[in-house]
Structure 1
Amino acid sequence: MVAQFVRLKLRLMANGFRRSAWQTIAFLLGLLYGVGIVGLVVVGTIVLGSSDPVMAGAITVLVGAVVVLGWWVVPLFAFGVDATLDPQRFVLFGIPQRRLLAGLAAAGVVSIPGIVTAVSALGVSFAWWRTPLAVLAALVGAVLAVSLCVVGSRATTTALAPLLESRRYREVVTVAAFVPLVLIGPAFAGLMSGLDGVDGDGARAAVVGLGDVVAWTPFGAPWGLGAAVHDGAWGLALARLVVSLATLGVGWVVWDRALRRALVTPPTAGAGGRAKGLGFFSRFPATPTGAVAARTATYWLRDPRYSGSIAVIPLLPVVLLVLGGGPGSEVFLVLAPVTAWMLGFAISADVAYDHTAFALHVSTGVDGRADRWGRVLPVLVAGVPVTIAFAIASVWVAGRWDALPAELGLTLGTLLVSLGVSSAASARLVYPVPKPGDSPFKQPQGAGMAVMVSQSAALAIMFALTLPVLVLGVLAIVLPSAVLGWVTLVVGLGLGAVVLVLGARWGARVYDRRSPELLQRIVSFA
């Protein structure tokens, strides 16, 4: 039965490759990337294990614990694991519960993350190749670690399935997920700066001590079996084995009971909240442009794919303050232009984000001009005050009030140019994006290469059009030159306005000419 599930998973993957050339290319690139990671991890661990087995054991435990934790936690933000073999599809086959669990667990490894994790776990076991018993114990730990990854991810997502189906939960969790992601860089920088004053022996002792602590947790215990046997600590190895087996057993029981409940009473999406007034539709004019603008503004506040862009913006000052070394650093001057670029680029896939709702535009005859400007206006209304406030705050924190005209020119020019290019790009470049209700982290199958090429082209055009303002602004700040600062402001506003008008006009023409084809392409992504 387990082999049957694995063959079925492989067959479904092969069928997906026949359906989409992009998916095949993305899989091959992902496989090559995975092979490179596995090679670096395995070779690096073996080399380190030959010279410093204790340090190799500590690093293996720390990195391995993060991997297991990632398998458990990431699906909660991505709203589930790979649903290629959805258990609901096997309800009518009468498969015994234990066989179903075993088959799903084995099939869960058949993916790029699963294969990379399994091969890496087995490969790093040979860090203690000079001690055969340690290698054997490490291989046992690797099998347990991979089992914990798969079983733990299935257990958490299946047990929390009713909560995951709640739209409010998805919105809150998606926005909250950006906080730790954005703060990873500053946290790492803070850690590195804290270790700058520590000598090599002190840093090694800190890493080894932290590894010893993490090895007692369910996430790090299986990775510490090889190190314990290598050190001759048989009691410690037995304790870590017990922790690993107990965690795996608890995870299996949780998954078993949650799956049994889900098969009998599958979760259903909760009802939507009661409508309260017309919202933005009562604030915008009753015109086609106003209707599109009201709907777009609603997206920005209610759709996690948009609201995530808003959630990360307040964290940017914190990141720059940490990376720049605190107040007085001129690094803080990039805050406003980066924020402007993020806001402008956010609508570059607006048509694709509409998904099948784009049929309303086509069926009601919304013209290109109303569609393009309706999507731009909400960003202008909210983005201009925010970016101006950030520009003023930037020069205040950096202590460069003389650079305010240049900063405003860079910021407003970047915002207007980005909106103009995005208005043209979203009407011309349509590619698979997360569907409404999905996590923004969830990448549609086969979309990786298409997204990368399309976004790279749009970003290259944005950079080329913004380059004159960028050069003037940088010179005005570096020299410094008050005259160049005012020139930057004038050129930024003028060039940005021209690009915005031309981009919206060109995008409107493309929209009017290709709207049926755009709808057909979007429907093909469903």
Structure 2
Amino acid sequence: MAVELTMARMKIALLRHALHGRRAQTAGTGATLGLLCAAATLYLAFTDLDLLAAAYAVWLLGWVLGPIFMGGGDETLRPEYFALLGLPPRRLAGGLLVAAFVGLAPLASLVALGGLVVAGARQGAAAALVAVPAMVLQLAVFVLLSKVAVALVGLAVRTRPGAVASGLLNGALLAGLAQIWVFLVAFEQTGVPAVVYYLPSGWGLLAVQGRWWALAALAALVVLLLAVWAALLGERSGTTRRSGRARRPMTAATANGAIVAKELRTWSRDLVRNHQLTFALAYAACFTTSPLLLGWNGMLPYTGPIFIVMAAAMSANVYGFDGTALWLTLMMPGTSDVRGRQLAWLAAHAPVAIVLAVACTAVTGGPWPLVLALTAALLGGAAGLVPWVSVHLLVPGTDPHRRAGNPLRTSEDDGGLTGLAYLMLVLVILTGAPAALAALLWGWAGVAAGVVSGAACWWWFGLLAERRLRSRGPELLDVMRTGRKPETTVTSRFDRLSRRRKTVAWYCFGFGAIPLVPQGIVAAVFVANDMLRHTWFLATYMPEGLRYPVAGGFMLLGLAMYGAGLWAVRPAATRQDAPDAASDAAARESAPDAPSEAAARQGAPDGS
């Protein structure tokens, strides 16, 4: 156990030194959300065991799919770090497994799995005792399934067919989860299906219910997954197979043409970009075609626009993915590759988006103006926002030739990449909103509005990205090379707050929307339309006389949280600014006869 405990202590030390600044804030937000989900899962253990089994299935899917979509998962300790120690693969896998239990995600999952103890205690002392090893084994299954899934996808994306296949599979799975309601209605499933108990996520619950074979099955699955992961760790150090085919030389008559040729070659050869492109395609196609199971084709025409939005989100960190290759552009002062990257992005995505939009809309017979307007506006908006967001909110990435044994690991900051992707989703959708509104109001005139707005976004955001790259290019290169943001002497009011007030403001502004919008405004709308007992909206479960008061209370709570956030920011900044102004005044009064700095620079004599 010496190796395992050493790796666990290494993980603790690394986390202790790494969690500061923005990473600490991101980790705090994630931990809060995770613990809230865990608390909701624990509540189900007191009320409905069927829903508890379904919740554990969702936790399992989160462990398996989450790391794949967010850059390869937690790799604070990488297998490559221990390559020279000569550890056997199973010993290495065991040590990394113990270290994987250290972290915020395992902690939140362990709290959620505490529902097994609650479920066991409801049936007797013996069942409660069985729940304790079931919790540990169930968590080990979660972690090991996550590690095996990431390792398998990492091996798959080392070849082009594997990258394409994994992208298609992951996109289809995520779209299926987003449209789960379709499958429930299609198969007339009004309750929780019994099959969730027999998934690996439900074996712990079966064990506490008296089916002892489930506990043995969990232990056997842990041993099997550990052996599979050890074998995959041995394969991880292998090299990527290189193609022996001769490549046509790139020819271009202009500088922008050379950039376009280089980018298109990258889109065709970089396996991570292949994975991202096919993921966006599979997600859009599966998301819009799944309602066909119910005989409804109303979402089918929007396959093209959804593909554009997802593709933009996946490529939001395009400069970060290239790593320190930016120095090639900076060696030519006054130049920029933004326009070339925009054209290459359109060349790689526009044909697919246009074919999807036209073909799917032709199947349903419309709405042609809305779909064409959205397609044009979103293409221009995405092509403009991709470089703009990348140069303003750059997440330092790993150079492609240093991606080690996990090609999905394109950055050390998974939280930053995830936030960037969500931000891009919102921004791209906003660029299409004016064209959609124009198409709804004026029909075919909206298509012209979509073309104009798309071209304007392409040109304007590209211009802003060019200016940023020319003025801050060396700083961006340093960020990508070192992974650290440059220090600046300009501080905002938020930066000058105490740690306690920063924490209050962060949580109030970050979570104030939850009680205000979904639990308040949306719940009130549901109650007004007699949509009762609706998912997680608490007011819809209340007795008739309490529904509107509960929704109103949540609205007041959300407004109070935003008010508390403003209170935490403004008073502290005012109090800190005042001493600075007073000290400046005192400094001026202390030396009334001193010659001015401007006079000294001009060589004026004292007293003149």
Matched, 1:429 2:393: yes
User: What residue number does 2:8 align with?
Assistant: 6
1:390 maps to which of 353, 356, 368: 356
Cα distance in structure 1, aligned partners of 2:68 and 2:135: 24
**Cα 1:473/1:376, change in 2 over 3 Å:** same
1:136 maps to which of 129, 148, 169: 129
**Cα 1:43/1:269, change in 2 over 3 Å:** same
| The structure with more helix, counted as a fraction of residues | 1
Q: Deviations over 1:345-375 (max 9, x none)?
A: 665432222211112111245712xx12211
2:447 maps to which of 489, 500, 503: 489
Cα distance in structure 2, aligned partners of 1:345 and 1:24: 24
Tell whether the 8 Å contact from 1:343 to 1:415 is kept in structure 2 after alignment: no
Matched, 1:522 2:480: yes
Tell whether the 8 Å contact from 1:77 to 1:174 is kept in structure 2 after alignment: no
Cα distance in structure 1, aligned partners of 2:86 and 2:207: 39
Cα distance in structure 2, aligned partners of 1:98 and 1:331: 48
Q: Deviations over 1:126-181 (max 9, x none)?
A: 123232221111222112222334456567878x7994794557634542443333
Tell whether the 8 Å contact from 1:221 to 1:240 is kept in structure 2 after alignment: yes
Matched, 1:117 2:81: no
RMSD after superposition: 3.9
**Cα 1:125/1:304, change in 2 over 3 Å:** farther
Tell me how far 1:488 sits from its aligned partner. Answer: 1.3
User: What residue number does 1:502 align with?
Assistant: 460
Cα distance in structure 2, aligned partners of 1:71 and 1:521: 31
**Cα 1:93/1:351, change in 2 over 3 Å:** closer
Cα distance in structure 2, aligned partners of 1:430 and 1:222: 43
Matched, 1:269 2:256: no
Q: Deviations over 1:174-211 (max 9, x none)?
A: 42443333442376233311354x6x7xx46xx34x25
Matched, 1:374 2:340: yes
Cα distance in structure 2, aligned partners of 1:98 and 1:495: 57
User: What residue number does 1:41 align with?
Assistant: 41
User: What residue number does 1:226 align with?
Assistant: 208
Cα distance in structure 2, aligned partners of 1:440 and 1:162: 6
Cα distance in structure 1, aligned partners of 2:85 and 2:275: 41
TM-score of the superposed pair, with normalisation by structure 1: 0.76
Tell whether the 8 Å contact from 1:321 to 1:327 is kept in structure 2 after alignment: no
Q: How many residues align?
A: 477
Letter in 1 for 2:300: F
User: What residue number does 1:307 align with?
Assistant: 274
Cα distance in structure 2, aligned partners of 1:258 and 1:510: 43
5+ long unaligned stretches in structure 1: 49-55, 229-235, 476-483
TM-score of the superposed pair, with normalisation by structure 2: 0.67
Cα distance in structure 2, aligned partners of 1:467 and 1:101: 49
Tell whether the 8 Å contact from 1:165 to 1:268 is kept in structure 2 after alignment: no
Tell whether the 8 Å contact from 1:309 to 1:343 is kept in structure 2 after alignment: yes
Larger Rg: 2
Tell whether the 8 Å contact from 1:416 to 1:496 is kept in structure 2 after alignment: yes
Q: Deviations over 1:459-481 (max 9, x none)?
A: 66555554432211122xxxxxx
**Cα 1:307/1:419, change in 2 over 3 Å:** same
Tell me how far 1:103 sits from its aligned partner. Answer: 4.5
Q: Deviations over 1:73-123 (max 9, x none)?
A: 876888866443345545666889988665443322101222222222233
Alignment of 1:255-334 (within 5 A): 262=234, 267-278=237-248, 281-282=250-251, 285-311=252-278, 312-313=280-281, 316-323=284-291, 329-334=297-302
**Cα 1:440/1:399, change in 2 over 3 Å:** farther
Matched, 1:242 2:208: no
Tell whether the 8 Å contact from 1:333 to 1:391 is kept in structure 2 after alignment: yes
User: What residue number does 2:508 align with?
Assistant: none
Q: Which structure is higher in RCO with an 8 Å CA cutoff and minimum separation 6?
A: 1
SS at match of 1:221: helix
Tell whether the 8 Å contact from 2:320 to 2:394 is kept in structure 1 after alignment: yes
5+ long unaligned stretches in structure 2: 485-608
Letter in 2 for 1:267: S
**Cα 1:251/1:459, change in 2 over 3 Å:** closer
2:322 maps to which of 332, 344, 354: 354
Identical-residue share of aligned pairs (%): 22
Tell whether the 8 Å contact from 2:378 to 2:431 is kept in structure 1 after alignment: no
Tell me how far 1:334 sits from its aligned partner. Answer: 2.8
User: What residue number does 2:376 align with?
Assistant: 412
Q: Deviations over 1:228-260 (max 9, x none)?
A: 2xxxxxxx42x333323333344455666777x
Tell whether the 8 Å contact from 1:344 to 1:415 is kept in structure 2 after alignment: no
Cα distance in structure 1, aligned partners of 2:450 and 2:64: 47
**Cα 1:382/1:327, change in 2 over 3 Å:** farther
Tell whether the 8 Å contact from 1:327 to 1:398 is kept in structure 2 after alignment: no
Cα distance in structure 1, aligned partners of 2:426 and 2:196: 44
Tell whether the 8 Å contact from 1:469 to 1:491 is kept in structure 2 after alignment: yes
User: What residue number does 2:171 align with?
Assistant: 179
